[in-house]
Amino acid sequence: MKKILLAIFCFFILNKPSIALVEVDITRGNLDPLPIAVSPLYVDPGSVAIKQNEEIIENIGEEISKVIEVNFKRSGLFNPLSKESFVQKPDIAHIKPRFEDWKLIKAQALVTGKVTVTDDKLRAEFRLWDVVAAKEMIALAFSTTPENWRRVAHIISDKIYKRLTGEDGYFDTRIIYVSETGPKTQRYKKLAIMDQDGANVKYLTLGNELVLTPRFSPKNQLVTYLSYFRNLPRVYLLDIETGVQEVVGDFPGMTFAPRFSPDGKKIIMSFAKDGNSDIYTMNMETRVVERITDHTSIDTSPSYSPDGKFICFNSDRSGLQQIYVMRNDGSNVKRITFGKGLYGTPVWSPRGDLIAFTKVHKGRFYIGVMRPDGSGERLLTENYYQEAPSWSPNGRVLIFYRETKTDSKGEGFSAKLWSIDLTGYNERLIETETDGSDPSWSSLLSK
């Protein structure tokens, strides 16, 4: 595993607060994305070339700006303008932009920067300019190792996103998912991890056994998932850095549907015994196992509230699959879904104010959100089959997977990762090398 530790020393080149005229309204989705010009970062002439995968990156400044542009475009909140229309050269623009030139191409915000690469260090600085007010809004610099250049681009994206929207970004994050190949009746599944924009894919298991539902720990170093190793479906823990795997607990039957508690100390999961699935937790430090639900129905897909005080889960105790909320000790169980259809896979938003879920109604699958008391249900997307939403760390975007209907010969199956904004706008396919399912979004790698 590549070192994800990034030495950041970020200092303010200029630290005077400016009055921003440029603002992004994030409540409305992508109806009116902000026109932004991302100038290629000026490459310091003394820089050495970066080699990656046997290829030499010609212009690292341009590559970084492209990664930033893709992030902005995919967010749906920004409209990165075509570089062909840029008049000013990157080096001069970074020192003092000619705002009239940028106004002419209708840019409201401008990003400029400079990058210096030595053998073992990459230093990048950027400035965000308010074109309308002709002012600098933020200026920062970062240092890291040259092979980590994409992370620098993501961190810059996050800083700009935060400056313009007032909320934390989600670009310096990763997605863990299940990579799928082979026919529908015999899928080969591997754990895979990638940057949120699909770059840097790595496969963490070989595909020898079925693996499902990986989820990050809050600190992103550990992953809990279900593995059919030796035909014994059990919850496992994987350290991404070291590759060390271990079974979670010693249960005499299938354990599944794992997730971490918000403090990262416990794993909550279902344990199936004699046809009955209940929810359990295991403290990873003390190894203490606690039974949380005790009901003859299927209780599964548990997810903690961000403060750790409550748990949402789905149960068919009413006859059909519905969503319930209870205290973290299993008391005070309350059903929150009463709409038409089945409800499953509840997952609490990192902000705590919403629960995302999958709804099945009249043979169609929906991803939706509702408040933790079940009110305010809003369905964001509808399809033949889709489920398992996972929140971006800022609670703005949901990632999930979608499977296609096969044709009359049973062919044409695929499973793909998709994302959609909380607003219900900006639905996007996330390109992966293979088919993919069960995505889980990490928290921000650098804060």
Partner 1 sequence: MATLSLRKFLIVASACLFLTACATQKRSTGKMQGDVYTGSDTVEFLATGVKDRVFFATNKSTLTTASRDTLRKQAAYMRKQKKLKFTIEGHADERGTREYNLALGERRANAVKDYLMTYGISGSRLNVISYGKERPVNSGSSPLAWSQNRRSVTVKAQ
Is residue 27 a contact point for partner 1 (CB under 8 A)?
Answer: no
Is residue 345 a contact point for partner 1 (CB under 8 A)?
Answer: yes
Q: Quick one: which segment of 32-40, 75-83, 191-199, 295-303 binds partner 1 (CB under 8 A)?
A: 295-303
- H or E element: which one contains 386? strand 385-391
Is residue 363 a contact point for partner 1 (CB under 8 A)?
Answer: yes
Is residue 276 a contact point for partner 1 (CB under 8 A)?
Answer: yes
Q: Quick one: which segment of 21-29, 50-58, 64-72, 248-256 binds partner 1 (CB under 8 A)?
A: 248-256
Pick the closer one to partner 1 by CB: 125 or 438: 438
Q: Quick one: which segment of 9-17, 46-54, 137-145, 358-366 binds partner 1 (CB under 8 A)?
A: 358-366
Is residue 252 a contact point for partner 1 (CB under 8 A)?
Answer: no
Closest CA to 436 of 225, 198, 243: 198
* Distance of alpha carbon 426 from alpha carbon 422, whole angstroms: 9
Contact with partner 1 (CB under 8 A): which of 132, 262, 413, 428? 413
Contact with partner 1 (CB under 8 A): which of 352, 360, 428, 434? 360
Give all strands (DSSP E) within 211-363, no chain letters. Answer: 211-216, 222-227, 234-239, 245-247, 255-260, 266-273, 276-283, 289-291, 299-304, 310-315, 322-327, 334-335, 342-348, 355-361
Q: Quick one: which segment of 27-35, 118-126, 147-155, 339-347 binds partner 1 (CB under 8 A)?
A: 339-347
Helix, strand or coil, per DSSP, at residue 444: coil
* Distance of alpha carbon 98 from alpha carbon 104, whole angstroms: 10
Is residue 385 a contact point for partner 1 (CB under 8 A)?
Answer: yes
Contact with partner 1 (CB under 8 A): which of 83, 316, 339, 381? 316
CB of 240 to partner 1, least distance (A): 22
Is residue 390 a contact point for partner 1 (CB under 8 A)?
Answer: no
The site for partner 1, by CB under 8 A, has a size of 46
* Distance of alpha carbon 121 from alpha carbon 144, whole angstroms: 6
* Distance of alpha carbon 161 from alpha carbon 109, whole angstroms: 12
Report the 10 Å Cβ neighbour count for 391. Answer: 25
Pick the closer one to partner 1 by CB: 261 or 300: 300
Pick the closer one to partner 1 by CB: 141 or 347: 347
CB of 233 to partner 1, least distance (A): 7
Is residue 435 a contact point for partner 1 (CB under 8 A)?
Answer: no
Is residue 387 a contact point for partner 1 (CB under 8 A)?
Answer: yes
CB of 289 to partner 1, least distance (A): 19
Contact with partner 1 (CB under 8 A): which of 184, 295, 327, 371? 184
Pick the closer one to partner 1 by CB: 153 or 370: 370
Q: Are 260 and 267 in contact (CB under 8 A)?
A: yes
Is residue 274 a contact point for partner 1 (CB under 8 A)?
Answer: yes
Is residue 208 a contact point for partner 1 (CB under 8 A)?
Answer: no
Handedness of CA 326, 332, 337, 343 (dihedral sign): positive
Is residue 231 a contact point for partner 1 (CB under 8 A)?
Answer: yes
Helix, strand or coil, per DSSP, at residue 165: helix
* Distance of alpha carbon 401 from alpha carbon 440, whole angstroms: 10
* Distance of alpha carbon 423 from alpha carbon 415, whole angstroms: 24
Is residue 300 a contact point for partner 1 (CB under 8 A)?
Answer: yes
* Distance of alpha carbon 47 from alpha carbon 117, whole angstroms: 5
Report the 10 Å Cβ neighbour count for 262. Answer: 17
Is residue 244 a contact point for partner 1 (CB under 8 A)?
Answer: no
CB of 358 to partner 1, least distance (A): 5
Pick the closer one to partner 1 by CB: 15 or 186: 186
- H or E element: which one contains 370? strand 364-370
Closest CA to 110 of 60, 58, 68: 68
Q: Please classify residue 3 by burial: count the beta carbons closer than 10 Å to its beta carbon, then call 0-12 exposed, 13-18 middle and 19+ buried.
A: exposed
Q: Are 210 and 227 in contact (CB under 8 A)?
A: yes
Q: Quick one: which segment of 1-9, 74-82, 166-174, 398-406 binds partner 1 (CB under 8 A)?
A: 398-406
Can you give the binding site for partner 1, defined by CB under 8 A?
A: 183-187, 210, 212-213, 226, 231, 233, 253-254, 256-257, 270, 272, 274-277, 298, 300-301, 314, 316, 320-321, 342, 344-345, 358, 360, 363, 384-385, 387-388, 403, 405-406, 408, 410-411, 413, 438
